[in-house]
Structure formats: C-alpha cells, structure tokens
Amino acid sequence: MTVVEDQGHEGAHRPAAPPDWRTRVEPGPLLPETEPYRVLGTKAVERVDPALLRRLYAELVRGRRFNTQATALTRQGRLAVYPSTTGQEAAEIAAALVLEERDWLFPSYRDTLAVIARGVDPLETLTLLRGDRHTGYDPLATRVAPLSTPLATHLPHAVGLAHAARLRGDDVVALAMCGDGGTSEGDFHEALNFAAVWRAPVVFLVQNNGYAISVPLAKQSAAPSLAHKAVGYGMPGRLVDGNDAVAMHEVLSEAVERARAGGGPTLVEAVTYRMEAHTNADDATRYRVPEEVEAWRAHDPVGIMERELLEHGVIDEAVVAEAKERAEEFAAGLRAALNEDATLHPERLFDHVFAERTPQLTEQADLLRAEIEAEAEAETGSAAGPVAGSAAGTSGTATGAGNER
C-alpha cells in the first residue's frame, strides 16, 4: 500500500486513502416532499387547463360508479371476487391518463379502474375476476400487462420491457402500479434497483392505502415514507396526496416525461385510503375502526374534486348531472355484459400457458378431449351407462377447473 508522510507528526506515516469507487449522487434532489404534494385547495389549481379538470372529474365520477357496480355484481354472483378501488380513484385515473398510446401499463389485481381508464373493454377487464378465462384482454394490443395477483411480481416485468424498448430505440415508458404491501416484497427491491442502475424508463406508482390486507403500514416499514425508499436506489421519490387527481396527474406526467427523456425511473407514493374491504371475502372491521373510515370520507377524491371545480366555476350543476348520467349509462352497459353467460370450452384451458404447448399439456388436453367425447356419446345414448357416468363426472371437474382460472 502506498504511504504518504503525515505533515502533522514528524516522522509519522499513514496509508493513502483508497480510490473512491462509489457513484457520486447528491441525495438532496432525490428526497421526496415532507408533506404530500397537493394542488386542490391551493392557488395552483388556477393554472390548470380547465379541459383537463373537467376530464378528470368525469373520469372520477365514472370510476366511482364502476366501483359500486362491480361490488354489486360480486354480491349477485356475477363476479367471483372484486378488489374495490373506492377512495383510490384519483390515483387510478391519473395513472391511465398520463400515458401515451405507445406506453405500457403494468397493473396489480386492484387496478381494474386504471385498466378501464386506459381504454380496455370493461367486460374483458373483469373477465379474470369473473373466472372465465386467462387475462381476458390482449396485452399486446392494449399495451396493458395482465392484472397481477401475486404481489409485485409484475414490477421486474415492467423494468425488463422498458429496458428492452430503450435498447431497441423505442420511445416507450412503462408505468407499474403496486400497493404498500407490494413494497415489502423482494421483487420490489429488484425492480427498483435494476431500473435505477440501467436508467430504465419506468415510473413506479405505489398506492399507499394504509393496509396490506389487514397489516397496517407501520408494521411493514419504518421509513419516513415509502417515497423515501427511492433515495436508496438512486432515483427521485415523490410524495403526493393520492386523493388529489390534479396533483397525481401533474406528478405522474412529470415522471413520465423524465423517463422518456432518458432521466431514468421515479418512485411516486400516493397517500390514499381503501374505503371498502380488501375484497368481498374480507371483513375489514376486524382490523380497523369505523371512525378511521369516516375520517377519510371527508377527503373523498370525487367529493373534493367536485366541490373545488364548482367553487372555481370550472363546472356547474348541469355538468355534474351530465357526468352522473353518463356514469349510469356506463354501469348499465356493464350490467348487461356481465348478465350474459360466457360461452366457454374446457379445452381453452390449455391455451396461452406456454408459447408452444408442452408434452405434458398435450397429454392432458388429449385426455380431456377424450372425456368430452365420451360424455357426448353418453348423452346420445351410444355409450354404456357406467362409462358415460364416469366420463361425465371427470369432464365436469375439468370444466369447473377451467372456470376457476
């Protein structure tokens, strides 16, 4: 090791400082706001395009009606499960509206409203939650990845797609959504670390609604905010009022533009609240008190937007009535679509599992086909009773398995 003379102590020697291999990034600009960023309720709303404000409002009204309708359809048995975004509509709508047609949205299972706001057919969006068939929509055609039920596993996919697009020279940004519970998964760490190192054009939107099913945020993270986690990866973090649709649209737009310009990823935390239970199978009263829910109702994203725009004269009662009427028409169309029984074939169960069907799947498909043919023969009376009964029972099980998926 090289030594240098210590001028402060005669005859003393000390080792030279080792070379600095660290990435020199000033942490200050990466730090998020100390309080969630807001536009509604401030003078900043006066500089926002009134056309954008009216569009955001109309989408919020439709989004709220979608949530109430989907919840009702679940109770009627038309949906197997529905994770409501009531109370989170502002973040959902903003996430969809800031993207260009060429960009990609990577939603979690709760982000059906963002998928619909992106332009995907509502029936196709809810097909997975109905239990009819695989994704329900074409990801390549819609530029929307499949709804991800496993927590955060879609985040590395978003980074991989965005990085690949950049290598190809495609002007594409990926926006990946997850909840606060998703930040506790290893996939979250891997996605953010890879994206930051390779400066992938990705925007990570964390909807912090207070609970990962029944686990409150305080038992998941001791960080000042989830947005502060961005600094450790070397990307900017933004802390936003997730119930302020205008603030969400502004911050996400800036993050998308930054990513598209080569500035790398951004982590955005939307502070919001899940007004309904985790899903229709959850009893939220077991882990939160009614007073907490009522306190958040005063900060309802639809209500605060409507009051603000009425106060500033951006909308009037006629606009409010029209938005609600169109939302009702939308809900009626959704009811009609889901009231029709889907036409399913059990053999479709083996489609889209792999690009090329494996020998095991081929064997299973052949077995199922034989059972279906045996059942058909039994119904026409050409097969013996015991064989027909066995085939019918097995085929019914296979069909049920297909519907469960």
Quote the pLDDT of residue 345: 82
CATH, residue 121: 3.40.50.970
Domain match, 157 and 264 both: yes
Listed in sequence order, the DSSP H helices in 131-260 are 139-142, 154-168, 186-197, 229-233, 245-260
Quote the CA–CA distance of 388 and 318 in Å, as a whole number.
63
Concerning whether 278 is annotated as a catalytic residue, the answer is yes
Concerning whether 335 is annotated as a catalytic residue, the answer is no
Domain ends where: 286, 317, 339? Answer: 339
Cβ neighbours for 62, distance < 8 A, ≥ 6 positions apart? 323, 326, 327, 330
Domain ends where: 288, 311, 339? Answer: 339
Domain assignment of residue 95, yes or no: yes
Quote the pLDDT of residue 352: 81
- Residue 383's identity, in one-letter code, is A
Domain match, 323 and 353 both: no
Domain match, 255 and 379 both: no
Domain assignment of residue 211, yes or no: yes
Domain assignment of residue 11, yes or no: no
Residue 174: burial class (beta carbons within 10 Å; 0-12, 13-18, 19+): buried
Domain match, 383 and 322 both: no
Quote the CA–CA distance of 12 and 188 in Å, as a whole number.
50
371-380, Cβ contacts within 8 angstroms, sequence gap of 24 or more:
371/395, 371/398, 372/346, 372/347
Torsion of CA 109, 111, 117, 123, to 10 degrees: 30
Cβ neighbours for 61, distance < 8 A, ≥ 6 positions apart? 302, 323, 324, 326, 327
Domain match, 39 and 57 both: yes
Domain assignment of residue 396, yes or no: yes
Distances (CA, A) of 306 to 60, 189, 315, 332: 9, 38, 8, 23
Q: Give me the catalytic one of 78, 163, 166, 278.
A: 278
Domain assignment of residue 8, yes or no: no
Per-residue pLDDT of the chain (405 residues; tens, 9 = 90+): 444 445 555 556 777 888 887 777 889 999 999 999 999 999 999 999 999 999 999 999 999 999 999 999 999 999 999 999 999 999 999 999 999 999 999 999 999 999 999 999 999 999 999 988 778 899 999 999 999 999 999 999 999 999 999 999 999 999 999 999 999 999 999 999 999 999 999 999 999 999 999 999 999 999 999 999 999 999 999 999 999 999 999 999 999 999 999 999 999 999 999 999 999 999 999 999 999 999 999 999 999 999 999 999 999 999 999 999 999 999 999 999 998 887 778 888 888 889 899 999 999 999 999 999 998 888 887 544 444 444 333 333 333 333 333
User: What is the total count of domains within the chain?
Assistant: 2
Quote the pLDDT of residue 347: 86
Q: Look at residue 212 and give its three-state secondary structure.
A: strand
First to last CA, the chain: 64
Quote the CA–CA distance of 395 and 367 in Å, as a whole number.
10
Concerning whether 82 is annotated as a catalytic residue, the answer is no
Domain match, 189 and 230 both: yes
Q: Give me the catalytic one of 287, 297, 345, 352.
A: 287
Domain extent, residue 188, equals: 28-339
Domain match, 365 and 302 both: no
Quote the pLDDT of residue 392: 38
- What tokens does 150 get? 């496993």
For residue 176, report the phi and psi dihedrals to the nearest 5 degrees. -110, 130
Quote the CA–CA distance of 307 and 313 in Å, as a whole number.
10
Domain assignment of residue 234, yes or no: yes
Listed in sequence order, the DSSP H helices in 43-100 are 50-75, 89-97
Domain match, 334 and 363 both: no
Domain ends where: 296, 316, 339? Answer: 339
Domain match, 374 and 321 both: no
Domain match, 260 and 366 both: no
Quote the CA–CA distance of 245 and 251 in Å, as a whole number.
10
Domain match, 358 and 302 both: no
Domain assignment of residue 7, yes or no: no
Domain assignment of residue 75, yes or no: yes
Quote the pLDDT of residue 396: 38
Q: Give me the catalytic one of 78, 130, 163, 274.
A: 274
Domain match, 77 and 127 both: yes
Q: How many CB atoms lie within 10 A of CB 257?
A: 13
Quote the CA–CA distance of 95 and 178 in Å, as a whole number.
12
> Maximum Cα–Cα distance for the chain, whole Å?
109
